[in-house]
Chain A
Amino acid sequence: MLLRHTPKEIGERKAVNINPAKTCQPVGAMYAALGIHGCLPHSHGSQGCCSYHRSALTRHYKEPISASTSSFTEGASVFGGQANLLQGINNIFSVYEPDVIAIHTTCLSETIGDDLPQIRKKAEQEGKIPEGKYVIGASTPSYQGSHVTGFSNMVKAMVDFSEKTETKNGKINIIPGWVEPSDMEEIKRMAKLTGVDTIMFPDTSGVLNGPMTGEYKMFPDGGTTIEELKSTGDSTGTLALGDWCSADAARTLDKKCKVPCKVLDIPFGLKATDRFVDAMRTVAGVSVSDELVYERGQLVDMLTDMHQWTYKKKVAIAGDPDHVIAMVEFLLTLGMQPVHIVTGTPGKKFEKRIEELTKDKGFEVNVKAKGDLFLLHQWIKNEPVDLLICNTYGKYIARDEDVPLLRWGFPILDRQGHQYFPTVGYKGGLRLLEKILGLLLDRKDRDSPETKFELVL
């Protein structure tokens, strides 16, 4: 047993978090910033933060992650990090020549009270920001929220670029939420099929799933361009996917440039995808393409055909709020029973939303925001499940409890595919369903006695 010190009895814990289902804000800010074309994320703190975030993202994507740091020492922590940041900005523009530096703070720089807007102003005054180059900043102290809110804060900072001119651009902004580059690609494909002209921000497709060419590009071809970010202020409307990840940015843009927004769930699974496609169709005033209708039909076909294998199967799930909410809805569509549900990100509205979704479904649900994997594991020990959905850290529980694991979310450190194959949309729904069925049926094949072992399932 790997987690041999996890008891079945659940005691009250007020102070200690064991095996977190979240990490800190800055890594989310770094991931979001990588979705701007030509952008170098910069961590304003001690160099360990930057090193850890780069390592985490590299392990997840198996791609180079460039980001710089203010490399605080004890002196900087006492006297403030302004000198380090000014020097950093100068060095970055001289050596790496990005179009944008996207700075996020850390618990260190926030605790000492460094003021990013003021430092940026000083950098401007001192001529450290070359003509045509930009510095944006987000406040992301690690003692608030989680990696999810860090992502959201950096996306909100991107709204700084937006400009409102006299002419509308006829486009729809899509804020995709913290999804994989493959998902962003898929959302763009669906919009294109629907005939909707979009600006997606951030957009990590083509940045974190790039090809091998024998050439290293520090700033790959993908990412939302500055021109696009500026133009978001002239769009017809904004679709914000994910309340936790995208709503703040969409509302800020609405306030700033009067671009109306609609906050939707991230389109994981049938129903959330339906709502997304319906919203796109409505805001753009177009009809849904036959191709998307066809793809939808395929997903409905497979979930009906395979219903006997998913029906009433119990699931434990840990992940980020926007992900988990949509996934719970999809599991219910499949007739499955998500019985243990945890997110590490704080927010009571998460629990409320899950309760609404699972109400009157005929089974009891354990749900906790600001929970951890230790608690999830204890719940599983008390009421075993047929499937665990979690990031890679779930594999320790999966092995100990002998439960199949669907790796989904962040980080995935030990399997590949998330960069390339989406789980959003109807196609993504098919992929999720294929994976879930594969896990359940492999398990059935493994556990069936010889007499019951069957060729056709």
Chain B
Amino acid sequence: MATSTASKKVQWTPTDVKAELLKKYPPKVARKRAKQIMINETSDGEISPQITANVRTIPGIITMRGCTYAGCKGVLMGPTRDIVNLVHGPIGCGFYAWLTRRNQTDAGADGENYIPYCVSTDMQEQDIIFGGEKKLALAIQEIYDIMHPKAIAVFSTCPVGLIGDDVHAVAKSMTAKLGDCNVFAFSCEGYKGVSQSAGHHIANNQVYRHVIGENDEPVKGEYKVNLLGEYNIGGDAFEIDRILEKCGITLTLTFSGNATYDQFATAHQADLSMVMCHRSVNYIADMLETSFGIPWIKVNFIGANSTAKSLRKIAAYFEDQKLIDRVEEVIREEMLDVEVAAREVRSRTEGKTAMLFVGGSRAHHYIELFNELGMKILSSGYEFGHRDDYEGRQVLPNLKVDADSRNIEEIEVQPDEKRYKPRKSEEQMAALEKSGMKFKEYEGLAPDMDENTLIIDDLNQYEAEKLVELLKPDLFCAGIKEKFSIMKMGVPMKMLHNYDSGGPYAGFKGAANFYYEIDRLLSSNVREFLKAPWQENPELTGAYVWE
């Protein structure tokens, strides 16, 4: 099977494309995939198409998805710098999640940074047969003796759940034994759930249970906020830190880019939670609100306009003229460079087309950046999104909870007896809402996509190639596994999981960076090199003319 984009250009309707994508599948697969491929029709307001998402991956179909462990350890807990992540299982899972996600960290004044370490119980056959609890306890002790960390997080991989090691009991007894080290565990075996998404939920639950609210020592500073769902890929969180600091906003916690244990432990003291990647952290945002009375809003620091909008939202929430003025000043100042970059590249990016298949929020976030470049998104979708990520949080009550989702624990949270304190009165909240501020809400990807574009959940390798072949985008965005098959077709490819060693792309400086990067990719002239002179003109038409 060979695919290339060089064939003749035909105008395809979305219905044709969908039919082409499904054509080769066995009937059962085609039926299932048909529900995950949606032709976007939201803009007429009447029809609200539904997409099937967060359902099982089809065995044998080459998916982009990873597993629950990857979502829990790799994505959510990995970026925290001063918690030792101990992977309980055979060596592979620890190895592959070792420094491969580009979460930047700064060891800070305390000097604690365990990110460059891969720590594993490296389970052997006898541990599988006789159980791994003793080895786990000993491993925790050995880490403590060598490194003396504040906390050790234990992650279960597939066989651990099957052999029934009680990782939580081991963690609890080791916490008691060590005295000054919080040990807690995540039952994030790879087979749970249908994608990384289940792992995010598991991480949220355990962080809430074991770390949030552990430290009541007052956090100093004005306008205290949590930034949830920002993982500091390529330094994104550092750029957001810079901007917030410039505005005078105090960041209590970034969950979890370059985070520290104490940031998590004091997060309950913030006055507002900002949710960046809602797919991965909306759970804890809710828990922080229910337990401690911290309201949450959706923000997006991807794109200069989105960043400005998000900053204005924060300022509006605090209802403080000093902050409102400062934010406007910062935006004015920062936009100067952004505008220079946009002016420089826009003539080359305007009207170009892209496809985005990434994450559970990212594909949506990046639409804003492409809008700023005047580019058009032909098709997009998530790897591990749920229906609310496509259609908006209002669909949550209508979501069908299937067996796979039921397997993931949903924890009941009560208001904290002593520390629950609504940050705003009911009247204040009502007034803010009236003025247009939306709490506990996010929009889906679909409303931001053009009419008749294709929204595809859990896109796979076969469909990706077909899409590129049929619609010939100028740029394709996905992850490492997709990168080189797309590039072989001569189409520029940008990784939006890990940025191909680039970034930051968040905030103002990040936006400018991204503009230049997309300009570089679109001006790629690889097609010029594909044919050698003798392939361009294979016919010999005369003798060689010597000088």
Binding site for B on A (CB under 8 A): 2-5, 7, 11, 13-20, 22-27, 42, 45-49, 51-56, 58-59, 62-77, 84-85, 87-92, 94-97, 106-108, 111-112, 141-144, 146, 212-219, 344, 374, 393, 396
Contact = CB atoms under 8 A, between A and B. Distances in A.
Contacts of A219: 1
Interface of B: 1-6, 24-26, 29, 56-70, 86, 89-100, 107, 111-114, 116-125, 127-128, 135-136, 138-139, 141-143, 145-147, 157-159, 161-163, 189-195, 403-404, 407, 461-462, 465, 480-481, 483-490, 526-527, 529-530
A-B complex: 5 closest residue pairs judged by Cβ atoms: A48-B67, A24-B92, A88-B60, A91-B60, A142-B90
A2 B142 contact: no
Contacts of A70: 59-60
Given A5-B114, A108-B191, A111-B128, A17 B121 contact: yes
Given A16-B120, A53-B96, A68-B61, 19 more contacts: A14-B138, A18-B146, A23-B91, A25-B92, A48-B69, A51-B481, A59-B480, A64-B484, A65-B481, A69-B57, A69-B62, A72-B158, A73-B191, A108-B191, A111-B159, A141-B90, A143-B124, A217-B1, A344-B91
Nearest to B141: A15
Contact of A68 (B60, B135, B527): B60
B530 A91 contact: no
27 contacts: A17-B122, A18-B118, A47-B65, A47-B67, A48-B66, A51-B63, A52-B97, A58-B481, A66-B62, A70-B59, A71-B57, A71-B58, A72-B191, A74-B404, A88-B59, A90-B26, A107-B92, A108-B191, A111-B128, A111-B159, A213-B530, A214-B488, A214-B530, A215-B489, A216-B2, A216-B489, A374-B117
Contact of A74 (B97, B191, B486, B529): B191
Contacts of A20: 91, 94-95, 98, 118, 120, 122
Nearest to A75: B403
Contact of B116 (A2, A23, A142): A2
Interface centre among B60, B112, B530 (most CB of A within 10 A): B60
B26 A16 contact: no
A97 B489 CA distance: 20
Contact of B95 (A23, A72, A91, A144): A23
B67 A94 contact: no
B146 A5 contact: yes
Nearest to B67: A48
A5 B96 contact: no
B484 A73 contact: no
B485 A64 contact: yes
A15 B483 CA distance: 38
B256 to A, nearest CB: 19
Nearest to B56: A73
B120, B159, B163, B526, most chain A CB atoms within 10 A? B159
A84 B128 CA distance: 23
Contact of A87 (B5, B59, B91, B483): B59
A59 B500 CA distance: 11
A13 B140 CA distance: 11
Contacts of A64: 483-485, 488
Given A51-B481, A396-B116, A216 B465 contact: yes
A96 B1 contact: yes
A55 B59 contact: no
B488 A216 contact: yes
A218 to B, nearest CB: 5
A13 B64 CA distance: 37
Given A16-B86, A96-B462, A215-B489, A5 B147 contact: yes
A383 to B, nearest CB: 20
Given A71-B59, A91-B60, A94-B26, A144 B124 contact: yes
A64 B491 CA distance: 14
Given A7-B146, A214-B530, A91 B2 contact: no
A97 to B, nearest CB: 6
A212 B488 contact: yes
A52 B69 CA distance: 11
Contacts of A68: 59-62
A25 B93 CA distance: 11
Contact of A107 (B56, B113, B159): B159
Given A71-B57, A108-B158, A143-B128, A22 B91 contact: yes
Given A19-B117, A75-B403, A94-B24, A58 B128 contact: no
A15 B139 contact: yes
A328 B302 CA distance: 50
A16 B487 CA distance: 40
Contacts of A13: 142, 146
A411 to B, nearest CB: 10
B191 A77 contact: yes
Contact of B60 (A25, A49, A92): A92
A437 to B, nearest CB: 29
